[in-house]
């Protein structure tokens, strides 16, 4: 998948509930449940428990961030 495909897919998820899995260092993974609330040219934001968290499309492309539609 290229970045434009990823942007289009995330754009289709705006205002929808998603699960985000973030792979960290030393096999530490974080899971977030939230709503995609904004899409920008280089990042997208997810509202998690009232806090806006931002992620890059390139992190999704390389697999560090995975998005699951609920």
Residue 37 half-sphere exposure, CB side, CA atoms within 13 Å? 13
Domains of the chain, earliest start first: 3-69 (2.30.30.100)
Q: pTM for the full model?
A: 0.89
CB contact at 8 A, 65 and 20: yes
Q: 6-50, pLDDT tens digit by residue?
A: 999 999 999 999 999 999 888 899 999 999 999 999 999 999 999
From its phi and psi, is residue 25 left (phi > 0), alpha (psi between -120 and 50) or beta?
A: beta
The pLDDT, as a whole number, for residue 25 is 83
Take residue 70 and report the two structure tokens written for it.
């609920």
């Amino acid at each position: 998948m290229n970045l434009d495909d990823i942007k289009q897919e995330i754009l289709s998820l705006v205002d929808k509930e998603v699960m985000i899995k973030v792979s960290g260092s030393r096999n530490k993974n974080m899971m977030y449940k939230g709503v995609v609330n904004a899409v920008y040219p280089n990042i997208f934001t997810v509202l998690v428990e009232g806090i806006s968290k931002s992620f890059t499309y390139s992190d999704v492309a390389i697999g560090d961030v995975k998005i699951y539609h609920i």
